[in-house]
Chains A and B, each alone.
Chain A
Amino acid sequence: MQIHDLATADLRSLNAALQAQAARTNQTEWEVLNPRGAHAIAVGLDAPLDVTVKGSTGYYCGGMNKQARITVTGSAGPGVAENMMSGTVVVEGDASQYAGASGRGGLLVVRGNASSRCGISMKGIDIVVGGNVGHMSAFMAQKGSLVVCGDAGEALGDSLYEARLYVRGAVKSLGADCVEKEMRPDHRADLERLLAAAGLDHDPGHFRRYGSARQLYHFHVDNAGAY
């Protein structure tokens, strides 16, 4: 176990050490102490590391992650796991706005609530939120899945493309071109897989699926008056 205490060592040396780990490193276990809301902890990793951050983080924790498993034992500030490529980021507490924004792959698990714009412009990442998500979540989402075990705020899935949204609780409102869709067996299997990966045992039958009505993909001349 490598221990890096941010009370005595600086953030830059932590990220440099984590980023320097080779793909076959045997130093896979890392613990980060005293994060105290610092920004950009454990960003840009590209090795199968297991990093545990003991406390709460500021902006962009776990950004651009590849391969690593990063766990935040407290809450995470804005943009956690932003642009993740692969690997797993787990937030034991809450996540602030735009969690998992523009992620291309991997899994983000938020055990508490995520605030506004969770999964904005997601491009293949899977996101599982144990609690609620705030307004404009999955805005312009293109690919991947967002699972919400609690409620979703206003304008869920506004202007979304092909991402799959699964919500167990209430949806305050759907955004433009987002509609409820049938939960077919392949969706149910997808949801079961995601819940299992997040260590949650909710019944997939209690979720509803939302997706794109695909009415905004192309310009319709009938809508010209709206511009």
Chain B
Amino acid sequence: MCGIVGLFTKTDALRPTLGRHLSEMLITMSDRGPDSAGLAVYGADSPGMVKITVQADDPALLGKLDVPGAAVRVIDTHAVLTLPQDAATAVEAQLRATGGLRVMGRGERIEIFKEVGLPADVARRFALADMQGTHGVGHTRMATESAVTTDGAHPFSTGPDQCLVHNGSLSNHNSVRRRLAREGVAVSSQNDSEVAAAYLTHEMAGGKDLGQALTSALDDLDGFFTFVVGTKTGFGVLRDPIACKPAVMAETADYVAFGSEYRALAPLPGIDTARVWEPEPAKVYFWEA
């Protein structure tokens, strides 16, 4: 099953309370995905600085992180390192080489928090309700294609400031994974959704914008999917042509919101007067700040 929530702000109105809205939305989707939950939040950036989110099953490891020049903020099993852009690639490589650490994502604005457990517990552990930002994407997981692990939880981030969440199951993810591997793109988990994320990253690295990358996904990815994706300044939605996986959207002057069900949108301010609609199958929806 799985549940997806997303919120993209068009004005400042909801930015100070973005985390509260997204965590309320996430918790409404608990019975669609009680296995794991996660959230990607696009917060403030600092010129010349990059954020790297890491996870460790043993949080003691995070307290011992020694990265010169980096500010480290530890939250439960995650830590967000903020460091100068020119050091980021070397530091990321060092972090990836450190036993017990997982790199969740990197970018100027993205922070990613995801763990195994009920959405309410995950939201509480990471104080998601206190986060601020311009947009965010959340997911509650009912696992189908790979094990219930932190690595299998969504969102997946395979490129700077990019993230993807998925409801569905891809049937050709192994062949796409092999194709990506031949082209030098490694997918770290056995998860089908991570392949979709890596696919989009690869397409965008080749020069496409998110809308174009999503359009080519309609040809190259086979199976059931509703995707919600985030970039540094953008927010996109795509459903496969059969569109079995549910989706509902709402738009007001202040925001665009996505929910797997209307229940997820019900807590939003102004929802009673919002334009609410079901996104069309095989149609790319994309908002850019």
Contacts and interface: CB of A to CB of B under 8 A. Distances in A.
Interface of A: 36-38, 55-59, 74-75, 77-78, 93-94, 96-97, 115-116, 134-135
B281 to A, nearest CB: 7
Contacts of B281: 116, 134-135
23 contacts: A36-B262, A37-B264, A37-B265, A56-B266, A58-B263, A59-B261, A75-B262, A77-B261, A94-B276, A94-B277, A94-B278, A96-B248, A96-B278, A97-B243, A97-B244, A97-B246, A115-B278, A116-B242, A116-B243, A116-B281, A134-B281, A135-B243, A135-B281
Contacts of A78: 246
A56 B246 CA distance: 15
Contacts of A116: 242-243, 281
B266 A37 contact: yes
Contact of B276 (A56, A58, A134, A135): A56
Interface in B254-279: 261-266, 272, 276-278
A93 to B, nearest CB: 8
Chain B at the A interface: mostly helix, strand, loop or mixed? Answer: loop
Interface in B120-175: none
Contacts of B280: 134
Contacts of A75: 262, 276
A134 B263 CA distance: 22
Nearest to B244: A97
Nearest to A56: B262
A35 B265 CA distance: 12
Nearest to B264: A37
Given A37-B261, A38-B263, 12 more contacts: A37-B264, A37-B266, A58-B263, A75-B276, A77-B246, A77-B261, A77-B262, A96-B248, A97-B243, A97-B246, A134-B280, A135-B243
A37 B278 contact: no
Nearest to A114: B278
Contact of A58 (B241, B242, B261): B261
A-B pairs with lowest CB-CB distance, top 10: A37-B262, A37-B263, A36-B266, A115-B278, A56-B262, A37-B266, A58-B261, A58-B263, A37-B261, A116-B243
B261 to A, nearest CB: 5
B263 A36 contact: yes
Contacts of B266: 36-37, 56
